[in-house]
Amino acid sequence: MAYADEENVERAAGGRKKLIQLTDLENANEVNQELLLDAVAEADSWINSYLEPRYVVPIATPPEVIRRVSAQLTVYILKQRREALTDADQTRFEDVITWLQGVRRGEISPGVDPRPPESTFAGQTVRGDRELIDHALTRDKFEGFT
């Protein structure tokens, strides 16, 4: 499931007419769904790349802030493809990336539960590797304990 829907992207673009201008390469006077969905998927991939170290992605039920970030990135991607970026667009993009970096560092919460920590044993991640467990816990190591 995509984080942003057409309505979110339309709002971020500044209205229906502007969204049509960004996606309508064939002058059909309508939103090109294929281009829109491709840009949303790219935006969501960017978001996931920042969230993945701390959160399970994709987020099953994205909060409003993630929907808005996805919509803003989608508009940026569409404008970039049309070579229609302004200085204001670049500033907004940089603000979004700064926010995502803060989320990645754990300074900002996107409103979802963090990934559960992995279990560790003696500094090594234990994922059910029987050989690692057998090697770490042997009878010889417990000799002398009663």
Instruction: Record the tokens describing residue 4, joined without a space.
Output: 């942003």
- Looking at residue 35, its pLDDT comes to 98
Query: What pTM does this model have?
Result: 0.79
Residue 3 vs residue 113, higher pLDDT: 3
pLDDT at residue 118, as a whole number: 74
Higher pLDDT, 54 or 128: 54
pLDDT for residue 59 is more than 70: yes
Work out the pLDDT band at 125, boundaries 50, 70, 90.
Answer: low
Residue 139 has pLDDT above 50, yes or no: yes
Average pLDDT on 76-100 reads 97
Coil, strand or helix at 120:
strand
Q: Which residues contact 75 (CB under 8 A, 6 or more apart)?
A: 9, 12, 13, 22, 89
pLDDT band at residue 62 using 50, 70 and 90 as cut-offs: very high
**Using 50, 70 and 90 to split pLDDT, how confident is the model at 115?**
confident
Q: What is the mean pLDDT of residues 72-85?
A: 97
* pLDDT, greater one: 128 or 66: 66
Question: Which stretches within the chain are classed as H helix?
Answer: 6-13, 16-23, 33-51, 64-81, 87-105, 130-136, 139-142
Q: Where are the domains of the chain?
A: 6-105
- The pLDDT of residue 136 is 57
Residue that wins the pLDDT comparison between 133 and 86? 86
